[in-house]
Structure 1
């Protein structure tokens, strides 16, 4: 079996936000003052050309505009970036083109512009359907704006999704059940549901360190997860990945590309990529600061500050970390092709004995519902 799987996508990072949310550790920056967006987009066009020179001849099956807040971008800028991708690679006529958006009234008015530019899927950062938690999470929209944005997105785009965060401070299981049922009623084909996690470098991390923020303990967090799986499955949106739920055929193709360990170019400040160059998998990362990135790109054609060739062992570890998040599991044969070694049968049997792992009829290894809450430990055991 080949280590490659012919999946190729482009991730485009837009680094700017109207405000920094207290839980967010993404590469996002609040910029105030004059901003020449047209000139800034020229740097994206140059970096796309450079990435295509490194990985020529690819068929692009998905493009994902992430952030930051890409819906702050002028729709014409989105169109220029998509035109550059199509100019330097082949853009599949059936490609999924996703744009992350915030559900404020100003940005919703741009939806038709994004659709005309080539975006066919939108992912909305709703995060909560309750006004109090929205304010605590630093969101700038109301519940009413969020619901309206979801409905407009569903009318404009072929496919859409929105995010909710659960296991929040002081949230009870009954609270989440009511909120999630509302979310499932509002959703169509796809829903992303994330347990709140605290990341270093965020405002929430500082509050937790100061004893001013308390999350549910492990047992309650597991109960939140179990309830989430039950309600989504009953509504016809079962999990296809640990935090993502969809009706069959509505899965996010771009995220599936990551989890299936495909190849992707990272474009924009702080963007990461995985490119096969001369049959070696390269891990790339760009300069994080938005205007430093722009200067680098205009000076040298790209903003890359990391370009590491991954060892066989590193590829195998990444494959496990990504693939075991999926309900479809992983192919042991592909793990061997990537890493040059087999997964230990003894480790497999031990994890099966705990009820954390199972073998599917097609031979794939899959983490069970019982194993998902301890996924990191399962991955570590298999990688050992």
Structure 2
């Protein structure tokens, strides 16, 4: 019962030192072969979760990566054509493509808009050249802002990413950078604290003492400032790291956070359809071999128990400003509210100002969002008891 489709394009021009996404650098990409592979993967998903099995038309499509803005517009067009033929498109479908803000990719924006992309998410990451070099980005600040300007001319909806809480960054420095970012007038911003992910070059650098991450108190201060400034500018946080004008939230990402079905195709893509979790081969060459061998790139397909689905839904939903409607969630999974969320711990953390109840909804407060990972591990039982 697909409502959303995720398409993963795994290739980048360079691997950023902070990135733990499934991205790969290759000297040459056979676009014809990749088109055939992605179409086969898509058709396999439709056969299992298509309209003929009670599914609804697609409400969103998201091209993620990697760097999907490196895809030839003709390839994007062919994939969209096939998706519409298989599932159909809901009125006003959101079609997002992630991209790097380089002049090379910006040259494709008009063509991408012409083939149906109506929302872009640009990885600016910073507005200062020195920081961009530290982050391993290939564009400079001027090039990034020119690409943003081009994107705003061609797409109805534009978002961009920034990374803050960087080593040595001051609160005033972040205030000034965020004020500039808000001044560009986009309806959506994704603002992420720098995290040192396992297996990245930054992890190796921290271990060697090349730099030290910002301390937790400074990070918390920047998080609070971010929430206050975006709210004052009319782009309040609707998820822990995502901010939007009302109505410009990423509908595709809300599909994940509200725990609705989505199909994921391409290397490393995850999916959830009808209580089944799917995972594709991560390495591009292994994914292509899977396509040749079986007609799809799935490496793992697993039925999720009701308790695991409920746990995932709670963990995702509590990231959102809207929180979770506990009685509705309990009905959805045939469980009690107490099985979904430890009531004694919920009362305790409510007394600490970290969560609150608004009618039927449990909501994590701004103060609780700073401690979200630890808070979720306390509130949501790791093994929910099925009703």
One fold, TM greater than 0.5? yes
**Residue 39 of structure 1: CA displacement?**
2.0
Alignment of 1:222 onto 2:220: yes
Deviations 1:332-355 (A, max 9, x none): 124323373423322221111111
1:120 equivalent among 87, 96, 118: 118
**Residue 331 of structure 1: CA displacement?**
1.2
Q: Which residue of 2 aligns with 1:324?
A: 318
Instruction: Provide the C-alpha distance between the structure 2 equivalents of 1:250 and 1:17, rounded to a whole number of angstroms.
Output: 28
Return 5+ residue gaps in structure 1 as ranges: 1-5
Instruction: Provide the C-alpha distance between the structure 2 equivalents of 1:325 and 1:303, rounded to a whole number of angstroms.
Output: 30
Instruction: Provide the C-alpha distance between the structure 2 equivalents of 1:296 and 1:368, rounded to a whole number of angstroms.
Output: 44
Alignment of 1:275 onto 2:273: yes
Deviations 1:315-367 (A, max 9, x none): 12211221111000111124323373423322221111111111113x11100
Given that 2:2 and 2:49 are in contact with CA atoms closer than 8 Å, whether structure 1 keeps it comes out as no
- 1:106-255 mapped onto 2 (5 Å cutoff): 106-255=104-253
Q: Which residue of 2 aligns with 1:311?
A: 305
**Residue 38 of structure 1: CA displacement?**
1.5
Alignment of 1:27 onto 2:48: no
Given that 1:273 and 1:283 are in contact with CA atoms closer than 8 Å, whether structure 2 keeps it comes out as yes
Given that 2:2 and 2:273 are in contact with CA atoms closer than 8 Å, whether structure 1 keeps it comes out as no
Q: Which residue of 1 aligns with 2:45?
A: 51
2:355 equivalent among 354, 357, 366: 357
Given that 2:206 and 2:212 are in contact with CA atoms closer than 8 Å, whether structure 1 keeps it comes out as yes
Instruction: Provide the C-alpha distance between the structure 1 equivalents of 2:279 and 2:77, rounded to a whole number of angstroms.
Output: 24
1:379 equivalent among 372, 376, 379: 376
Alignment of 1:74 onto 2:69: no
Given that 1:232 and 1:245 are in contact with CA atoms closer than 8 Å, whether structure 2 keeps it comes out as yes
Alignment of 1:287 onto 2:281: yes
Instruction: Provide the C-alpha distance between the structure 1 equivalents of 2:286 and 2:374, rounded to a whole number of angstroms.
Output: 38
Instruction: Provide the C-alpha distance between the structure 2 equivalents of 1:291 and 1:82, rounded to a whole number of angstroms.
Output: 23
Q: Secondary structure at the match of 2:78?
A: helix
Deviations 1:297-329 (A, max 9, x none): 122111100111111221122112211110001
**Residue 128 of structure 1: CA displacement?**
0.1
Q: Which residue of 2 aligns with 1:368?
A: 365
**Residue 224 of structure 1: CA displacement?**
0.8
Q: Secondary structure at the match of 1:99?
A: strand
Q: Secondary structure at the match of 2:273?
A: strand
Deviations 1:242-280 (A, max 9, x none): 10111111101001111111110001000000011xxxx
In structure 2, the CA distance between the partners of 1:28 and 1:204, relative to structure 1 (3 Å rule), is same
In structure 2, the CA distance between the partners of 1:7 and 1:174, relative to structure 1 (3 Å rule), is farther
Q: Secondary structure at the match of 1:31?
A: coil
Name which of structure 1's ranges 334-343 and 232-241 shifts more when overlaid on structure 2.
334-343
Instruction: Provide the C-alpha distance between the structure 1 equivalents of 2:122 and 2:148, rounded to a whole number of angstroms.
Output: 7
Instruction: Provide the C-alpha distance between the structure 1 equivalents of 2:232 and 2:8, rounded to a whole number of angstroms.
Output: 35
**Residue 291 of structure 1: CA displacement?**
2.0
> Over aligned residues, Cα RMSD in angstroms?
1.2
TM-score w.r.t. structure 2 length? Answer: 0.94
In structure 2, the CA distance between the partners of 1:100 and 1:339, relative to structure 1 (3 Å rule), is farther
**Residue 7 of structure 1: CA displacement?**
7.2
1:42 equivalent among 36, 40, 46: 36
Q: Which residue of 2 aligns with 1:3?
A: none
Aligned residues: 373
Deviations 1:93-144 (A, max 9, x none): 3110000011110110100111111100000000000000000101011111
Given that 1:8 and 1:62 are in contact with CA atoms closer than 8 Å, whether structure 2 keeps it comes out as yes
TM-score w.r.t. structure 1 length? Answer: 0.95
**Residue 196 of structure 1: CA displacement?**
0.4
Given that 2:63 and 2:96 are in contact with CA atoms closer than 8 Å, whether structure 1 keeps it comes out as yes
Q: Which residue of 2 aligns with 1:84?
A: 82
Q: Secondary structure at the match of 1:76?
A: helix
Return 5+ residue gaps in structure 2 as ranges: 382-387
